[in-house]
A and B are shown apart, each in its own frame.
Chain A
Amino acid sequence: MSKNNDIQSNNDIQSNTIKKGLEIPIVKSIGLPTLIIAAFFILVMTTAAILKQSLPILISDILRRFGMNGVLVLAMVPAIKSGTGPNFALPLGIICGLLAWTIGIEMGFIGITLILLTVVMATVFAAVTGYFYGKLLNAVKGAEMTIATYTGFSTVALMSLVWLMAPFKSKQMGWMMGEGLRETIKLDGVEAGQIINNFLSFEIFEVKIPTGLLLTFFAFCFLVWIFFRTKTGIAIIAGGSNPEFAAASGIDIDKNRLIANILSTVLGAIGIILYSQSYGFFQLYSGPLMMAFPAVAGVLIGGATASKANISHVIIGTFLFQGLLTASMPVANQLFEGTDLSEIMRVVLQNGIILYALTQVKGGGK
């Protein structure tokens, strides 16, 4: 049957190509996922140009998506460096950020004050959450990724109860009738939409540069980079790279994993604040459920693995992945109307990359 052949040819070709492809030196140094996504990206951009789509708008969108996802992907770095694998429990940090948003709006703040206050609250919540979650992770060494995923899912489900029962009264957030918060909460009502994006932004060749957003993202990249050059940061790297070595050198690996986890959760909380202000709204209930996966794929596409990641991976990966997703939507819509091909492509590429990374995880088995 034709269906059989489709699946067969896709997968068979894939595995053979991977095997042969890995032998080529350039692939070895850059990494297969990065090359594949880069190739797709170039293909899509070329197609967009051929179809005479508005390149300035496209590039503006790409820059915006790049900036707004950056810190969420950055959150993966402390987790991977500390040896707990990519942070599939990113929803935990995201929920801290969302909680901070709702409380900030409830208290009646608007504009830049709202954002600053939200950031402060989110950081506090995330630090506490990261601490307790970190303790859980220390108890489940070897299966952090699986446990992380389910902790994330359970927390999102639990928080759905909270959103529903929360005694919030703000009209910006509640349903017309009945209790509980709405699913999607807009930020223009509180003058917080795109504030950071627009800060210091300018246009060049009709391309809108969201300066504030990009500056914030790069600032956090710099902070994380500096952190991993401190005494503690280096100890964390050692603990993740070779726990026996670190232990023999007197490092308290568990404590360091906690610190890395707190950092990762805080970045997740700040990440969602940047993300939602850029979109102009944030989503509660099942909104955060699947948000870890694009971030994980993002850092992997940049060349990271489940045990090694650094800032350059974040920047390259986020740019390529978000660039591809942003550009493919209008292109696919123009070529194949009504098929939502770009979304399907996202699911396949994103999860395919994560699967590939999992096959590269060493060790395991009984």
Chain B
Amino acid sequence: MSDNLLSIKNISKEFYGNRVLKDINMEIKKGEIHALIGENGAGKSTLMNILFGMPMIHETGGYQGSIELEGKEVLFASPHEAMAHGIGMVHQEFMLIPGFTITENIKINRELTNPNLVSKIFGRQYEGLDMKKMNSDARKALDIMSMGIEEYTQVAGLPVGHMQFIEIAREIDKTGIKLLVFDEPTAVLTESETQNLLAAIEKLAAQGIGIIFISHRLEEIMQVSHRVTILRDGEHVVTKDTKDTNVYEIAELMVGRKVSLDRTNSTSRRISDETVLSIKNLEVKMPGEEVKGFNLEVKKGEIIGIGGLAGQGKIGVANGIMGIFPARGQVIFESSPLELNNPRGAIAAGLSFLSEDRKGVGLLLDESIELNTVFTSMQIHKEFLHNIGFVRVMDSRKIRNHTNKMIKDLDIRCTSSLQHAGSLSGGNQQKVCMARALTQKPKLLLVSEPTRGIDIGAKKLILDLLKKLNEEQGMTIVMTSSELAELRSICDRIVIVCDGKVEGILSPDASNAEFGLMMSGTRADSQLGGAE
């Protein structure tokens, strides 16, 4: 019948009414390197979580469809079960203990032991460790990866590339490994380390291990994979043999969709020639979203979008300018240099930030809507206060009135201005964040992921609000978002960030393929792969 190692049949998944996966079908053969590609939110992580038996899948209603391993249907109730059946996953974040040796990390919780008198009475935990045998097993695994390093070296201080390999060594040391999933493995590697990794993956595949290779780096996919599956918005777009396609096609299929949000070209958009915000060589150390040299000139009165794939750095830009994460570079706002690493300075200069981390950075969940709304203006612009001598006490009446106005203007659904922010719905929380940003009467608004986790109705409301602010008050807006569609619906220009740098700037009506190629960092002129 099938010589398929793994068959994913008609997998569907719903999260609280939201359909995130629709009828996914995928097949991996023994020894095949199968690439899985898709934008943010395409469903890749959810699919892998299902494959791996993660508890959060079962806790949210399970899934529909079936998974077959070597022809037999399987249902994993936990990662442990998946591992026992020979499925391994090499994560993006390294799960290595720095204080342990390579051997100890490879063998963690699977140590080889010898029984002794005590263990016969009290149990397996008292068996003695057989370090010699463990070291030789580790040596074998490392040799497969062509790693020359000694197995009893401590992990702390090893370069990142080595750590990645040790992660892999740990998986292949597990007996009976049949399928390995790699989740963006080259994201943190240098050029040469990447090549080493790809070579190792090919070596593993040659031994009959099936590989699922998740990556957005189209050149790597072209280089090493046998087949490629593209997911988009939870649906299976296509599976093709790699030799039958090229980066251009993949990029287009990855991005292309019917644009559900209409773009109304407004005539009242006034974009001047004047540069209001100039960013040069911005570097930001935001874990997971590092910026490595960002340059941009923002024109006064425009809505400019910053897009790109997850982890490429687009989120880091605004966070760096507003001093939330350490940053370096030159930023000039309204012709004066803006000091970096200084949130107070940025706010005082007239910049306001709506963070993507609504509940973390954006709100005081245990405090009232009114406190959340006026907090920043109170602290930086010293508003909403009674001045009594040298003491500044909050002006409750003013705060109440202002908040109620905001609640009306933004249509915030709440019991009163005293309701705790933590008990509001996602959309209303976002509106409170918006209220706080607007209370500061900013000259330039930075918005990150404005409609993340919000239902369709509220999404439109917020985007309309941003448009209104821009059109009626001429506010310059810098909008960062993972959803290309919403960027294309209201932005005047869209900057694509890849690898922490500006990959290019596109007009909202540029082709899907152009967006796809830019987001994956592929040079459009280097047409790799077969058909044209």
Name A residues whose Cβ lies closer than 8 Å to a Cβ of B: 226, 229-232, 234-235, 237-238, 241-242, 244-245, 247-251, 308
Contacts and interface: CB of A to CB of B under 8 A. Distances in A.
Interface of B: 322-324, 342-348, 353, 355, 357, 360-367, 371, 375-376, 378-380, 382, 385, 391-394
Given A250-B347, A250-B380, A241 B355 contact: no
Q: Is the interface of A mostly helix, strand, loop or mixed?
A: helix
Nearest to A307: B366
A235 B379 contact: yes
B367 A241 contact: yes
Given A230-B391, A230-B394, A245 B366 contact: no
Interface pairs A-B: 4 shortest CB-CB? A250-B344, A250-B343, A231-B392, A249-B376
Given A235-B379, A238-B375, A241-B364, A247 B391 contact: no
Contact of B378 (A231, A241, A242): A231
A247 B325 CA distance: 10
Nearest to B385: A231
A245 B382 contact: no
Contacts of B357: 244
A249 B380 contact: yes
B355 A248 contact: yes
A238 B363 CA distance: 10
Q: Is the interface of B mostly helix, strand, loop or mixed?
A: mixed
B379 A249 contact: yes
A249 B360 contact: no
B361 A248 contact: yes
Nearest to B365: A242
B369 to A, nearest CB: 14
Contacts, number: 71
A308 B343 contact: no
B363 A249 contact: no
B364 A242 contact: yes
A226 B389 CA distance: 14
A230 B344 CA distance: 19
A258 B382 CA distance: 21
B220 to A, nearest CB: 34
B387 to A, nearest CB: 10
A241 B421 CA distance: 13
Contact of A245 (B322, B364, B380, B392): B364
25 contacts: A226-B393, A229-B394, A230-B392, A230-B393, A231-B378, A231-B379, A231-B382, A231-B392, A231-B394, A232-B392, A234-B371, A234-B375, A234-B394, A241-B365, A242-B363, A244-B361, A245-B363, A247-B324, A248-B322, A248-B361, A249-B347, A250-B323, A250-B343, A250-B344, A308-B366
Contacts of A235: 379
A249 B393 contact: no
A226 B394 CA distance: 9
B420 to A, nearest CB: 11
A238 B393 contact: no
Interface centre among B322, B343, B380, B382 (most CB of A within 10 A): B343
A234 B378 contact: yes
B392 A248 contact: no
A279 B392 CA distance: 38
